[in-house]
A and B are shown apart, each in its own frame.
Chain A
Amino acid sequence: SAVISQKPSRDICQRGTSLTIQCQVDSQVTMMFWYRQQPGQSLTLIATANQGSEATYESGFVIDKFPISRPNLTFSTLTVSNMSPEDSSIYLCSVADPLAGVRETQYFGPGTRLLVL
Chain B
Amino acid sequence: EDQVTQSPEALRLQEGESSSLNCSYTVSGLRGLFWYRQDPGKGPEFLFTLYSAGEEKEKERLKATLTKKESFLHITAPKPEDSATYLCAVQAWGNNRLAFGKGNQVVVIP
Q: Specify the main secondary structure of chain B where it touches its partner.
A: strand
Is A105's beta carbon under 8 Å from chain B? yes
* Number of chain A residues close to chain B: CB under 8 A: 25
Known: A96-B96, A105-B46, A107-B46. A41 touches B102 (CB 8 A): yes
Known: A33-B96, A110-B43. A43 touches B49 (CB 8 A): no
Contact digits for B26-42, partner A, Cβ 8 Å, 1 yes 0 no? 00000110101000011
Instruction: Report which A residues bind B (CB closer than 8 A).
Output: 1, 4, 31, 33, 40-45, 48, 58, 92, 96, 102-111, 113
Instruction: Report which B residues bind A (CB closer than 8 A).
Output: 4, 31-32, 34, 36, 41-46, 49, 51, 87, 89, 91, 96-103
> In the docked arrangement, what's the CA distance between A103 and B4, Å?
20
> In the docked arrangement, what's the CA distance between A92 and B36, Å?
14
> In the docked arrangement, what's the CA distance between A41 and B81, Å?
24
> In the docked arrangement, what's the CA distance between A15 and B97, Å?
29
> Are A111 and B31 in contact (CB-based, < 8 A)?
no
> In the docked arrangement, what's the CA distance between A8 and B35, Å?
27
